[in-house]
Structure 1
């Protein structure tokens, strides 16, 4: 079995094994620690009990000696012999001492007189060595009816018993000694199971092993180890001798003239924990067996978990490659089985959704025709095939006429039904031509396209005429007849392009040309694209003009018609091209509005107008500057914020500006336009409807707009002196504006007669060539100094104007 280190299976096995090993090791450590602690506690108890047992043995020996001495001390003949104090009884005394000592296994017996002198002994050498200790014990023996102690003779320890002889007063003392030797050590080991060693320490601190249950090499090494350690009496400590560990307790038995005798009670640690060690080995074996069994179980469990997941991962990879046919073959009743079932359901769901997505991505849901993406694929395939076979491929692109009007009048549902009928008519028309493998697609909106593989230009033109003829036949829909035509463009490979995008682009250019010319089907010609190239060049030049400061601000004064006072000026933009010279606004303003560049121009005009306001204010000239806003400006919801920043930067009041908006700009999107205008008006800016009367605005809607001014379009003003119709329109507009509480401004005043006529009608302000043509902004201050209004026009009553 192979494991990948980063695989789920190996991680599960590793995790389980780590947990199991950690638990087993922790358990073993705890058990081992418990065993060691229990063994130490047991050894300590054994050594403590051993100390008690050894002291009990010594006490028993002392009692045995005292008993023997007491029997002799109460022997009548022995007491009489001592009492006679006759030299002839000395042999009797010594014989009694010897016999009594042999009975109790004493090594030496002696008699001390009442005068505290040794008068008889069975061992002169021991008597000499014991004399000092014995003499120190006589008082205690007399007081307590006997005394015992420990004595050292030639570095060997003895247990000494002193018993007074009374008749009835003390007439002497019997002294008996018992060796502390191997016999006592052996008895101790047989009773307690502890190794026992008897040691003596001389005045220099050297230790001498007197007797031991250990072999000589072991007791010698043990003695040496203890000599190098600080003295620890009546306390347990560990030593290691010849790779064996022992727990030792040293008992001080007694001291004599600077010498000491002690006993070592020793318990082998290895022997004490031998049973525990066997238990540990069993536990270790069980732990290893448990780990092996757990490892096998974890491997089995990991495979049970990981293998289905691996199968699911393989299924996911097949799904990623787009293969939705593979079935998940294993069945389980657990959570993984539920996951597999859910995964299988997901596979079916993804397959169905991808099929639907492909349908939506490549097919038009309304007509059932291929969409643009699918058509491009077909076109590229056809071009590739045509390249191999060196045959042409043509594309017919058509855009329906008057479809927007049908949508607006009849509604979108009617328009959708119309598109479906057009698609069906195109399919029927092309299906009737059995010698062509034409394909129809809907590009979007009311645009359709036809792919004509292996078709000549002449054949494509014939098919195009047939299609247009079929579309010109009125359509019957919801009991209504609808006349609809189309503009159709033709482009082909390799004549007009070598890929799908270039062919579609060429066909589109030809199609729009056909709609403009109203000329049926138009074959693409490179000359048609020149206007597009010029437009592109114009956009680039406009952008460069801003960077190169080629625009100039012009203004046209606005005059009060009643007093002749100049109260404002309309800001206009002029383009001084380095090669073309002066470019008139009609040549670039409409294009700027189409491309969205008008927003850049509006910001430029506002900036320059703000600078002009600051300059005029510095000369104590107060004029309201009017700036034109386009449709795209009104659609910019951030326009009020931009104006606020400009006013703050130039320290100007909003009342310094009047913003002019055309009716058509407002009506393109009335809701958004009204929202923008209300925010601008709320800032304090005045608003004016420019070119009033030329648009299609609703008066009911206009009355809700926050405007302050109406500007009558110059087309009504220029000829009003001679055209009674224009004059009536102007008068009605003035009355309408005043009734709505608005200021009325007339554009296009080119004569004093028109000035006076407008003044009689009550028009508030005017501008035109009669007062001044548009001039560079820097000349405005000079013009104001020289301006002389014409004679005051006659002002008649409202009743007269009504006539």
Structure 2
């Protein structure tokens, strides 16, 4: 067995023969199984049909017996002489008439009863004194059959199932009833069985006698008497019954009758029903064996015809296995199978060579524009850097503006045409030859600039000038602008990948700043692996309560009272100690998690607000809101519910909003601010003067104060222009009915100057640095003491 398996594994022809024969045998087995299943289903359907026919035949025989009994009973009941005998109570005449009538129609029993169901005559002697007869009459009386005309019922009489009819005798009123019965005998079972071609058994079970079985064969009678309990067929059943080694499809109908129960079984042998198909299966099996033998001989011959050319061409294909696709395949001129196979191998060699050329082109060139792709461009840049031929290299990355709108409005087919036209236009520029230009992504192109020609900035300006010219594609005039980023090796970065990435960073910065050209600077990189790690831990920091609230005091310039404080957040990292806000707040704003941080800050302040209050005047705490907070429709509801939970008035908080946050969606921001103002919150415009500074929106917004940005406060002592800006801002705010807060107060001179200019409140390191709440309370106490305040 092991040697055979080794031979099959070693020789292709043997594997081919073995697998083919195995597959054919499997298909034949499946076919045999399908045929067998179909025959089985057909046989059972035919058996069920035969049983249904037998049931109809049996019911028809019962109906015929009933009609014959009914006609005979009615004829006797209507006979004048019989009625006269009944009226005169002539028992001999009655008994004789009953016996003659029963014999004429084949009835087994005939009885006359009066209106009170007392027996007045019978067709057989001593029948009136029989306990079975008395039980029958009593059952009929109990069931009030006497109230029904032509009643038809079944009873066990003397242990035998018997059909009965009840016909009234009228002269002209009812003077009695004629009962006629027909005993169901074995010949009726046999007749139905012969007509329908199935086996039948009738089982009668009464409490007064043993179980009686009538069947068309003694084998079935013996089975029902010995192997089947008497109460087995009290219900209607359908199942397969095993009788000896034979299986019968059986349908049983159980019925309660007068005097006990009867069950009628319709049965048909599956073996007998299948017998006509056995010869078919034998022939099918024989044909299958012969077919497998013939097919095995034929496939053996054919496999040798197929395998021999493979052996001949093995040596010829060794060159192809080594990747030498230029090697010729011998034997291609032959006209036999070897020649056909050789020509096929030669065609395969040519096709593989073409496919490899196509794959190489797809791997390194863009299929739409024909330009080098990102991989090819990266390899070229790396080659220039590694070769040491140049002291510096620059990459210009170009991204088309509004290209997504072109795709959305004009469709992707038009977008593809625009990309091809853009590539053609770029190739027309002297400094962007085919080997230095690449399409690196959807609407993004890169240009490699080497020393010896124009500088990278001059090349970028040339490219921009060319791209700003309108494109005409399919009679459509399209204006596209571009954002361009420039990075240089080794001044900006040290590696090839870093150079490509730096140019993309500069390009995205240009797009964000709406600039045409941006040169890379390290400050443009806002994300570092460390900051991203901190950002991933920020969610857990909120859950673990690692954040801390710091307060920076605000002092009224008029009387030096500490009237408010700005709440600032710090992160007490379990491993990295205190993390400053600029390390994680920008990323929280980008991801939207700043909303959760704001909620945490407000909950924390609300829970500690009462501890900050003094006995004199309410103490305010300012909280900075981000753009995402202001654009969240449910934010006012959150504020209301949180302050109500801690019993904090809305006037106890001042919400600070930057101008840029308002201008992202002015209408929505105005509605939100109006809602917050109506709730009683104090609203402040933070960093005023550094954003859009839209006076049109400022006069419409329900704000209470302006915060002068620290960039103006820093220079107001040395720079008269900054002082004028601060003075103008204060005057503008006062004219609009707003208070002014100056941040970034570093010296006493600044503090005094702000007071002279009319600024209401000041904030900065001269007054106090941001500090934890406990330290803030101690600081405020010391400040009040040093300034003579209570």
Larger radius of gyration: 1
TM-score (norm 1): 0.48
TM-score (norm 2): 0.49
